[in-house]
A and B are shown apart, each in its own frame.
Chain A
Amino acid sequence: MITVRIPTPLRSLTGGEEQVQAPGETVKAVIETLEQKHPGLRDRLLDEKGVRRFVNIYVGDEDIRFLDGLETKLKAGDEISIVPAIAGG
């Protein structure tokens, strides 16, 4: 299983959960699986071009832009973090 850490703005889609788990061999597969349980999540992360601008997705400490993007391979126990642009202070 892969653990996905959900940022505050998206927790309304996960019933307030800060992290959820889903199976999947790639980042894209995990997002598709999560979409089944948490409808609307995929559209907040992806558009027709791929990962939406102002959203960054990490596997562990690595930005998937610098790996294989949505096709980045995962192994059991990996953690995906979603980091949207934030403004505040």
Chain B
Amino acid sequence: MPDARARQRVLIVGLGGLGCPALSVLARVPELELWLCDDDVVELTNLHRQTLYRDADVGHDKLAAAQQALIAGGVAPERLVAVRSRLLPENARRLVSRVDLVLEGADNFATKFLAADAAHLEGRPIVHGAAVRWVATAWAVAATGAPCYRCLFEDVPPGAQQGCSEAGVMGPVVGFCGALMADLALRVLSGDATAFSSLYTFDGQRDHLRQVPAAPRPDCPLCGSSPSITDILEARYTTPSCAA
């Protein structure tokens, strides 16, 4: 067994449709310690895509169900760290500072921007992923933080946005995206600098994966030349959430 002190720590933000397939892969890498961050419960409508859960888990919390599934599959319990909370403004920097990489599969924009900001401020790499209906996106941001999530999407969109509970999400698409996120995470952790700066977009109706370059935005409020985001302020992260 690898020396526990040598393990790399990955914070999994959200044990939903993206977190489940990513976890299934990352849990098979004995050199990783996985910090599982979620406070949600399993719902019947989750089961088609959140592959760690079974019918009997409906109504129970995802954290316990995910741990149980992984341990039953042979994952050493000491490699799993339970964080029974959402990623919140009051805990984001502390959690992120204690890991080597953040894998963000949150279902709402507020958490996505919060994770992006915390990762940049703490100098940690982050892999973002999202999927709605037939479309998924994934990309990795370096510890140096440029280009970052805000370079592309700038700020939390105002008003209600369609998420998975409103628009639906296809199981294979979200599974593909979760696997791609795990791939990016492993590349980042192994020191592959080519993992960064490309936005991957997957169209499940065409089975087309597009890889486009992303570049830093000079006036980015997070990683630009004169950043205005230098700390986590709760008021910055308000948007309706999409129930997983």
Residues of chain A at the chain B interface (Cβ within 8 Å): 7-9, 18, 53-54, 56, 58, 61-63, 65-66, 81, 83, 85-89
Is the pair A87, B211 in contact by a Cβ cutoff of 8 Å? no
- In the complex, whether B127 has a CB less than 8 A from a CB of chain A is no
Considering the complex, give the chain B residue whose CB is closest to the CB of A7. Answer: B135
Residues from chain A with a CB closer than 8 A to the CB of B16 are: 89
Interface centre among A9, A58, A61, A86 (most CB of B within 10 A): A86
Residues in B147-171 with C-beta less than 8 Å from chain A: 152-155, 157, 161-165, 167, 169
Q: How far is the CB of B174 from chain A (nearest CB, A)?
A: 5
Interface centre among B134, B153, B205 (most CB of A within 10 A): B153
Q: How far is the CB of B220 from chain A (nearest CB, A)?
A: 11
Q: How far is the CB of A46 from chain B (nearest CB, A)?
A: 14
9 closest A-B pairs by CB: A53-B154, A88-B164, A89-B18, A89-B17, A85-B153, A88-B163, A88-B132, A86-B130, A86-B132
Interface locus among B65-73, B100-108, B118-126: B100-108
Interface centre among A7, A8, A58 (most CB of B within 10 A): A8
Q: List 8 A-B contacts (CB under 8 A).
A: A53-B153, A53-B154, A87-B242, A88-B17, A88-B132, A89-B18, A89-B130, A89-B244
Q: How far is the CB of B102 from chain A (nearest CB, A)?
A: 15
Is the pair B201, A88 in contact by a Cβ cutoff of 8 Å? no
Is the pair A53, B155 in contact by a Cβ cutoff of 8 Å? yes
| CB within 8 Å: A-B pair count | 89
Contact A58 B212, CB 8 Å, known A88-B242, A89-B131: yes
Instruction: From the candidates B162, B242, B244, name the one contacting A8 in the complex (CB within 8 A).
Output: B162
The secondary-structure label for the interface of chain B is mixed
Is the pair A54, B162 in contact by a Cβ cutoff of 8 Å? no
Residues from chain B with a CB closer than 8 A to the CB of A53 are: 153-155, 157
Is the pair B157, A85 in contact by a Cβ cutoff of 8 Å? yes
Interface centre among A7, A18, A56, A89 (most CB of B within 10 A): A89
Residues of chain B at the chain A interface (Cβ within 8 Å): 14, 16-19, 49, 105-109, 111-112, 129-135, 137, 152-155, 157, 161-165, 167, 169, 174, 177-178, 199, 201, 205, 210-215, 242, 244
Residues from chain B with a CB closer than 8 A to the CB of A61 are: 210-212
Instruction: From the candidates A18, A83, A87, name the one contacting B163 in the complex (CB within 8 A).
Output: A87
Q: How far is the CA of A61 from the CA of B177 in the complex (A)?
A: 19
Considering the complex, give the chain A residue whose CB is closest to the CB of B20. Answer: A89
Is the pair B162, A89 in contact by a Cβ cutoff of 8 Å? no
Q: How far is the CA of A7 from the CA of B213 in the complex (A)?
A: 20
Residues from chain A with a CB closer than 8 A to the CB of B129 are: 89
Instruction: From the candidates A8, A9, A87, name the one contacting B106 in the complex (CB within 8 A).
Output: A87
Instruction: From the candidates B107, B201, B244, name the one contacting A83 in the complex (CB within 8 A).
Output: B201
Instruction: From the candidates B157, B214, B242, name the one contacting A54 in the complex (CB within 8 A).
Output: B157
Instruction: From the candidates A58, A62, A85, A88, name the one contacting B167 in the complex (CB within 8 A).
Output: A88
